[in-house]
């Protein structure tokens, strides 16, 4: 029995999902897999694990597992459920990539979807669990999709072995046909239980015109107007970043809080607390607040209608962040946030005609990004023919072929045979078996290119350096963003000072002599080493232009990678040295070879010959897959050196095509 406080009990009774407890639990008993659809805020995430717990699903020594696509949600939901159930966090726990509080007493475990995928690699039958809940399935995150595919096989296997496991897929939208009507996934379609939303009406106000450029300015004005004219209540702006003056028009002050995933957790937690007395709360959020987190008491939503997404070019792999229109489904989710506790209003900063042109739903992520990491993970699970995998939405054959090719070139998969008929050869290309190196690579929780570097790191005692560089490349964005516009002269001069300081630090970390050629990777190595030496304090990061949250993640990832490397090759006995000395000249040479082995397909050469006639090729580089010039960023360690050959971590398209993470390669 669960001993809940009277307040919690009362709050629970207001949640629509509670009315469906019987129906849900009966469906769980009678079916191996079920789907639950219910609007955001209806109580799925916090209550369904409790239903399972109370029905005894955690009593036979097995756990109830819940996956979330976002770390924020896994952490905050585990705390919330522990609190509601009056149980310690040793029992209702979480595990995310870098940390967790799971114990041998854990009964309910919230985790990111990536964590569960790793667990399947260790134990395909997931014997620790009696039930798995896949939450936020509508988001169609890559790992969620893969997990559903895998679980559609694991659940029947568990049944066959006489230790049944239940699968619950939860979605905030009714669009679940990709799961239910996919014969390859579930031969018998799982029942769909709809939870009626106890949603208050939300009045939608469309703009007459649609600002194309300055939509953040428009959102700011709209917010001020609401604040002036409408009775106090919490306000939410989705999803954009704004700077809102603390006090608008002499009325009560606005208490403005940001909410986005890169934000430090203590800052994130603030949105759940009541604002200071006499203020009105205004939250400026990205799509984190669209479905994963429900903030209590929001009455007004200002929706810019945009979403910032990372796009990949299928052929060149170039990535860019683009702000595009969102989908109708997302816009409706956003509006819904205004009607949780009383009737609300949603101000759409676009016309109804523009809304009509939005796509109905957002695309599944798996169709929009490279899949080499997934293919390697799946091969490691002995799924040789990845094309035949029951994906809810399959990635393109093009993407699968590219992934297998890259993995073959990294030595993670066996070369396909070059003989036989063309058709057989093509088929072989899509079913290359994994090599022992590939297995080792799959055990490192990083992208295959970086995993290859780790696998080679043994030479010349380079491993600690490779681990540090790989951790920094994986965490990304280790430097503070100082390119943001300043809001005042004072801020502008402070920003300039900080930029100058960061430039100075970069120069210091880039080292001298031979290390210079390791370029940006040397800067990363220097930054990680210096930060660790200083004890990884917020102060050090602040003073050196490093992002504290990123540095903490790097620290954790270094620990994790060190353990993973030791597990694969115990004889090397690496450890995380807080006083890592800079690499010797010899080691730098070796590091550059290792980097080349991992990033070999990301090679670029200085433009030469006839290209130079055209001014657009000045200081530019040429890559095999692109006709356009790519460049070394002014912030790069190699901006002035311009070596003939370089390898890069990735190409980002901003004002130009810029290579990031550049390091020089010796011409043969």
Binding residues vs ligand ADP (CB under 6 A): 15, 38, 40-47, 76, 80, 272, 294, 296
How many alpha carbons lie under 13 Å from residue 426 in its C-beta half-sphere? Answer: 5
* 45 touching Mg ion, by CB under 5 A: yes
Beta bridge partners of 413: 434
Q: From the CB of 146, what's the least distance to ligand ADP, in Å?
A: 22
Q: Report the alpha-carbon distance of residue 663 to residue 165 in Å, rounded.
A: 49
The site partner of 562 among ligand ADP, Mg ion, none (C-beta below 5 to 8 Å per kind) is none
* 330 touching Mg ion, by CB under 5 A: no
The site partner of 287 among Mg ion, ligand ADP, none (C-beta below 5 to 8 Å per kind) is none
**In this complex, which beta carbon is closest to Mg ion, that of residue 329 or of residue 462?**
329
* 649 touching Mg ion, by CB under 5 A: no
Q: Report the alpha-carbon distance of residue 368 to residue 390 in Å, rounded.
A: 18
Q: How far is CA 561 from CA 80, 109, 280, 457, 591, in A?
A: 31, 23, 45, 12, 17
User: Using CB under 5 A, which of the segments 42-50, 210-218, 583-591, 655-663 binds Mg ion?
Assistant: 42-50
Q: From the CB of 182, what's the least distance to Mg ion, in Å?
A: 23
Q: From the CB of 38, what's the least distance to ligand ADP, in Å?
A: 5
* 362 touching Mg ion, by CB under 5 A: no
The order of strands in the sheet holding 108-112 is 99-100, 92-96, 108-112, 63-68, 129-134, 166-171, 33-38, 192-195
**In this complex, which beta carbon is closest to ligand ADP, that of residue 38 or of residue 100?**
38
Q: From the CB of 48, what's the least distance to ligand ADP, in Å?
A: 8
Residues 629 and 621: beta-carbon distance below 8 Å: yes
Q: From the CB of 371, what's the least distance to ligand ADP, in Å?
A: 29
**In this complex, which beta carbon is closest to ligand ADP, that of residue 5 or of residue 619?**
5
**In this complex, which beta carbon is closest to ligand ADP, that of residue 15 or of residue 244?**
15
Q: From the CB of 269, what's the least distance to Mg ion, in Å?
A: 17
**In this complex, which beta carbon is closest to Mg ion, that of residue 45 or of residue 544?**
45
Helices (H), 132-264: 142-160, 177-180, 215-229
Spatial CB neighbours of 567, under 8 Å, sequence gap ≥ 6: 443
**In this complex, which beta carbon is closest to ligand ADP, that of residue 164 or of residue 297?**
297
* 50 touching Mg ion, by CB under 5 A: no
Q: Report the alpha-carbon distance of residue 57 to residue 65 in Å, rounded.
A: 10
**In this complex, which beta carbon is closest to ligand ADP, that of residue 171 or of residue 443?**
171
Closest CA to 119 of 559, 445, 454, 385: 445
Backbone angles phi, psi at 411, to 5 degrees: 85, 10
Helix (H, G, I), strand (E, B) or coil at 11: helix
How many alpha carbons lie under 13 Å from residue 540 in its C-beta half-sphere? Answer: 15
Q: Considering only residues 266-285, where is the footprint of Mg ion by CB under 5 A?
A: none
**In this complex, which beta carbon is closest to ligand ADP, that of residue 197 or of residue 364?**
197
**In this complex, which beta carbon is closest to ligand ADP, that of residue 296 or of residue 578?**
296
Q: How far is CA 449 from CA 310, 376, 417, 528, in A?
A: 20, 11, 23, 20
The site partner of 555 among ligand ADP, Mg ion, none (C-beta below 5 to 8 Å per kind) is none
Q: From the CB of 15, what's the least distance to ligand ADP, in Å?
A: 6
Q: From the CB of 92, what's the least distance to ligand ADP, in Å?
A: 13
Helix (H) or strand (E) holding 269: helix 265-269
Q: From the CB of 289, what's the least distance to ligand ADP, in Å?
A: 11
Q: Which residue is nearest to Mg ion (CB)?
A: 45
DSSP 355: H
User: Using CB under 5 A, which of the segments 40-48, 352-360, 403-411, 570-578 binds Mg ion?
Assistant: 40-48
The site partner of 106 among ligand ADP, Mg ion, none (C-beta below 5 to 8 Å per kind) is none
Q: From the CB of 22, what's the least distance to ligand ADP, in Å?
A: 18
User: Using CB under 5 A, which of the segments 44-52, 177-185, 211-219, 587-595 binds Mg ion?
Assistant: 44-52
* 171 touching Mg ion, by CB under 5 A: no
Q: From the CB of 173, what's the least distance to Mg ion, in Å?
A: 12
Q: How many CB atoms lie within 10 A of CB 272?
A: 13
- Measured in whole angstroms, the distance separating CA 432 from the mean position of its chain's CA atoms is 28
Closest CA to 362 of 164, 539, 178, 131: 178
Q: Report the alpha-carbon distance of residue 178 to residue 596 in Å, rounded.
A: 41
Residues 185-224: x where in contact with Mg ion by CB under 5 A, - otherwise, as a string: ----------------------------------------
Q: Report the alpha-carbon distance of residue 156 to residue 186 in Å, rounded.
A: 10
**In this complex, which beta carbon is closest to Mg ion, that of residue 44 or of residue 558?**
44
Q: How far is CA 460 from CA 65, 453, 589, 590, in A?
A: 43, 13, 10, 7
Which tokens hold the place of 554?
């790097």
Number of residues that bind Mg ion (CB under 5 A): 1
Sign of CA dihedral 549, 553, 556, 558: negative
Residues 508-547: x where in contact with Mg ion by CB under 5 A, - otherwise, as a string: ----------------------------------------
**In this complex, which beta carbon is closest to ligand ADP, that of residue 108 or of residue 518?**
108
- 538, 544, 545, 547: CA torsion to nearest 10: -30
Q: From the CB of 78, what's the least distance to ligand ADP, in Å?
A: 10
Q: From the CB of 364, what's the least distance to ligand ADP, in Å?
A: 20
The site partner of 268 among Mg ion, ligand ADP, none (C-beta below 5 to 8 Å per kind) is none
Q: Which residues bind Mg ion (CB under 5 A)?
A: 45
């Amino acid at each position: 029995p669960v001993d809940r406080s009277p307040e919690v009990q009362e709050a629970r009774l207001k949640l629509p999902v509670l009315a469906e407890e019987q129906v849900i639990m009966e469906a769980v008993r009678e079916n191996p897999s079920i789907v639950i659809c219910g609007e955001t805020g209806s109580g799925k995430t916090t209550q369904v694990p409790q239903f399972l717990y109370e029905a005894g699903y955690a009593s036979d020594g097995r756990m109830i597992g819940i996956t979330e696509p976002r770390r924020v949600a896994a952490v905050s939901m585990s705390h919330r459920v522990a609190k509601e159930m009056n149980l310690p966090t040793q029992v209702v726990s979480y595990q995310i990539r870098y940390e967790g509080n799971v114990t041998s007493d854990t009964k309910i475990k919230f985790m990111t979807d990536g964590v569960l995928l790793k667990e399947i690699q260790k134990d395909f039958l997931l014997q620790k669990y009696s039930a798995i809940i896949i939450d936020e399935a509508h988001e169609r995150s890559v790992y969620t999709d893969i997990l559903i595919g895998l679980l559609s096989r694991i659940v029947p296997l568990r049944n066959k072995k006489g230790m049944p496991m239940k699968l619950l897929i939860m979605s905030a939208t009714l669009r679940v046909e990709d799961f239910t009507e996919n014969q390859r996934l579930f031969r018998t379609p799982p029942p769909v239980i709809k939870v009626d939303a106890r949603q208050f009406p939300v009045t939608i106000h469309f703009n007459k015109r649609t600002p194309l450029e300055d939509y953040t300015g428009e959102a700011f004005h709209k917010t001020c107007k609401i604040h002036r004219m409408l009775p106090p209540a919490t306000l939410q702006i989705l999803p954009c970043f704004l700077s809102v003056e603390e006090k608008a028009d002499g009325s009560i002050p606005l208490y403005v809080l940001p909410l986005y995933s890169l934000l430090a957790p203590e800052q994130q937690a603030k949105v759940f607390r009541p604002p200071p007395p006499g203020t009105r709360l205004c939250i400026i959020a990205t799509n984190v607040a669209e479905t994963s987190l429900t903030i209590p008491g929001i009455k007004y939503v200002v929706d810019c209608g945009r979403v910032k997404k990372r796009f990949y070019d299928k052929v060149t792999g170039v990535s860019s962040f683009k702000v595009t229109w969102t989908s109708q489904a997302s816009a409706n989710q956003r509006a819904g946030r205004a009607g949780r506790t009383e009737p609300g209003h949603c101000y759409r900063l676009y016309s109804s005609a523009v809304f009509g042109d939005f796509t109905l739903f957002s695309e599944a992520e798996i169709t929009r990004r490279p899949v080499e990491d997934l293919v390697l993970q799946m091969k490691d699970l002995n799924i040789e023919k990845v094309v035949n995998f029951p994906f809810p939405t399959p990635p393109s054959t093009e993407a699968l072929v590219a992934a297998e090719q890259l993995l073959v070139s990294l030595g993670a998969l066996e070369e396909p045979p070059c003989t036989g008929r063309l058709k057989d050869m093509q088929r072989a290309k899509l079913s290359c078996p994994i090599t022992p190196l590939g297995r080792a690579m799959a055990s490192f929780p990083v992208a295959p290119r970086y995993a290859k570097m780790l696998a080679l790191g043994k030479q010349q005692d380079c491993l600690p350096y490779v681990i540090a560089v790989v951790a920094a490349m994986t965490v990304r964005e280790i430097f503070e963003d100082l390119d943001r516009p300043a809001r005042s002269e004072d801020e502008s001069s402070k920003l300039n000072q900080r930029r100058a300081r960061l430039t100075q630090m970069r120069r210091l970390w880039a080292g001298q002599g031979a290390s210079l050629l390791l370029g940006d990777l040397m800067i990363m190595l220097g930054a990680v080493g210096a930060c660790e030496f200083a004890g990884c304090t917020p102060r050090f990061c602040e003073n050196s232009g490093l992002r504290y949250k990123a540095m903490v993640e790097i620290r954790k990832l270094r620990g994790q990678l060190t353990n993973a490397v030791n597990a694969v090759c115990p004889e090397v006995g690496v450890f995380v040295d807080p006083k890592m000395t800079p690499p010797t000249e010899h080691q730098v040479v070796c590091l550059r070879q290792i980097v080349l082995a991992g990033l070999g397909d990301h090679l670029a050469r200085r433009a030469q010959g006839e290209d130079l006639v055209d001014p657009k090729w000045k200081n530019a580089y040429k890559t095999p897959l692109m006709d356009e010039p790519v460049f070394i960023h002014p912030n790069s360690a190699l901006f002035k050196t311009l070596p003939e050959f370089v390898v890069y971590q990735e190409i980002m398209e901003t004002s130009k095509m810029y290579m990031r993470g550049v390091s020089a390669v010796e011409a043969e």
